[in-house]
Amino acid sequence: MAANSWFSVLTSTGGSRTSHRLFSTSLRPSSFFIPKADSQNQNHKRKVLNKSSSSPPEKVAGKQKFSRRSKNEGPFANADGRSSTSETGRSQSTAIKSFGLQKKGKGIMLDSKDQQVETGSIQDAAFLNAVVKVYCTHTAPDYSLPWQKQRQFTSTGSAFMIGDGKLLTNAHCVEHDTQVKVKKRGDDTKYVAKVLARGVACDIALLSVESKEFWEGAEPLSFGRLPRLQDAVTVVGYPLGGDTISVTKGVVSRIEVTSYAHGSSELLGIQIDAAINPGNSGGPAFNDDGDCIGVAFQVYRSDDAENIGYVIPTTVVSHFLEDYERNGKYCGFPCLGVLLQKLENPALRACLKVPSNEGVLVRKVEPTSDISNVVKEGDVIVSFDGVHVGCEGTVPFRSSERIAFRYLISQKFTGDSVELGIIRAGEFMKVQAVLKPRVHLVPYHIEGGQPSYLIVAGLVFTPLSEPLIEEEEDSIGLKLLTKARYSLAKFEGEQIVVLSQVLANEVNIGYEDMSNEQVLKLNGTRIKNIHHLAHLVDSSKGKYLVFEFEDNILVVLEREEAMSASASILKDYGIPAERSSDLLGQYVDSTIEQSEATNHGEFGYEGLLWA
């Protein structure tokens, strides 16, 4: 069953979400893990991405499991050298799992190949004292029952001091945090920490500790340059296997644009062969000079591969910190907002009147991007801020290397202007565009942590999100999953609103079995988002509430009867409110819908590159 294993990723250099499939020539299922902290509740292991397999698909209740797209994934798949068009064979299943937090109170299985060492030469090095252990209590939302939370669980990870009362760790180590504590090496006191900023796309979080006692004698780490291949690297943290600090050593194996499992983005990453295990997440990686060259955050697990760990380089860390300093918050990595195809074929270049062996073809433009005003489908991008783009979608990197075109975009900040050199109908021209984060029709992470919801006569409506798809994957239809994976947002604020379930009551007899159906209209008005739906319900004056769903399904309720039944339904099911707090304010329609002609073309984009 030789096949290529893959996992979905994003191409939007961080904040945006475009789908990419990273192929590894694997004969057996392999897994890409995020080193997460250890949780007391094993049921809280969260898959970052679903498995996609060329083996017979798993079926539940007569429905085929559908691979969900990556977090930054837009409606199309990336083809930047990793697409199904550039690899032969079908894909074996690959899972991306968070594991950087080691699970407390559970048995431990150690791999003799992953040796944890603490050498005498660095045992007393000062920089080890800057590495701390993170204890986090997580309380994740329940996306299926959006008015409540899941059972809390605890985990541990690593972090390190960077000065000015702040520490760095991984975003997945403090995801859905309700309490974060840190403990220094050789200390028995835990100090309360606060999460200042969380960068999901780059998997970095900034913490602060107010206690002056914690910072006594502390020496923050200094950041070093981007390493070279074969440079020695030392990873320090608090992984499973013990309670004290652990050190592993290796070398830099590869530096390239890498899939970030937690944010499902693609940013620069450093591959190393030093062991990274659960609990190492958020710990620093050092060079031989004692300078921090990055943050350990994930590993690649496979039966056919060993010692593949990943470090977030200081270039990405510096971008995160500068973004926070500029804006007082983390705004995310921007994207260009175009779907690209490589121009390796000479006949294709000749047909597009591209005179040289360069450029990438614009196949699609996101309606919500600024570039949609200056770039058209069929244009060929040949340069980005004066840097020539090769026909494979790569640009020069350092002295003798090349790297994916997305790397240049990831160096920019939200709001930056860029100059593109394009060829249109054989004519060369230069255009200006402003970069901003991608607008996601189906978000991978919920802002504020708690999903929105609206209950109308027992009908529970909520926006479709990737966490909801993960929880409800066995009951969501293939058509809705396809739309979630491949559709583009036509305007900022657009959402796919679904009827997640019906709370049975006399007023909704006959509709009790409906679940996970997209609602399109209310009383003939097309629904833009969950807040718009709440506004339409509140402003309705007619006798009936007529909900129109996908596939021409109708739900009709007598309006006054539905409104009067709401209080008793909430009481019967122990629900505190009929809507989430974010829907209590006045609805302001600031959406500007793009023409339908610019949005769709939803299928047939596997093997292409988003930028």
d(CA 72, CA 200): 10
DSSP state for residue 346 in the 8-state scheme: H
- Quick one: which of 16, 4, 15 has its CA closest to 76? 16
d(CA 204, CA 318): 11
Q: Which residues in 344-355 are b (16+ Cβ under 10 Å) and which e?
A: eeeeebeebebe
Of the residues 177, 203, 323, 379, only one is catalytic, namely 203
Is residue 388 part of the annotated active site? The answer reads: no
Question: How many beta carbons lie within 10 A of that of residue 138, not counting itself?
Answer: 25
- Quick one: which of 417, 449, 453 has its CA closest to 436? 417
d(CA 421, CA 425): 13
What distances in angstroms separate CA 265 from CA 258, 322, 325, one per listed residue?
Answer: 8, 19, 22
- Quick one: which of 419, 452, 451 has its CA closest to 434? 419
Burial of 472 (0-12, 13-18, 19+ CB in 10 A): middle
d(CA 467, CA 142): 9
d(CA 17, CA 444): 9
> DSSP per residue over 250-275, as a string?
EEEEEEEEEEETTTTEEEEEEEE-S-
d(CA 227, CA 461): 50
Of the residues 8, 264, 281, 452, only one is catalytic, namely 281
Place of tokens 């694997």: 26
Backbone angles phi, psi at 390, to 5 degrees: -75, 165
- Quick one: which of 260, 200, 282, 259 has its CA closest to 447? 200
Of the residues 20, 172, 445, 535, only one is catalytic, namely 172
d(CA 405, CA 394): 5
Is residue 289 part of the annotated active site? The answer reads: no
d(CA 9, CA 118): 35
- Quick one: which of 263, 304, 308 has its CA closest to 49? 263
- Please state whether 368 falls in left (phi above 0), alpha (psi between -120 and 50) or beta: alpha
DSSP state for residue 76 in the 8-state scheme: S
d(CA 16, CA 74): 8
Structure tokens at 602: 């939803």
Task: Return the bridge partners of 157, or none.
Answer: 134
3-class SS shares of the chain: helix, strand, coil, % to 5 = 15, 35, 50
SS3 assignment, position 268 = strand
d(CA 46, CA 96): 9
d(CA 284, CA 160): 7
SS3 assignment, position 497 = strand
Task: Return the bridge partners of 265, or none.
Answer: 260
Is residue 203 part of the annotated active site? The answer reads: yes
The full 3-state SS of 530-541, as one line of letters, equals HHHHHHHHHHCC
Residues identified as active-site: 172, 203, 281
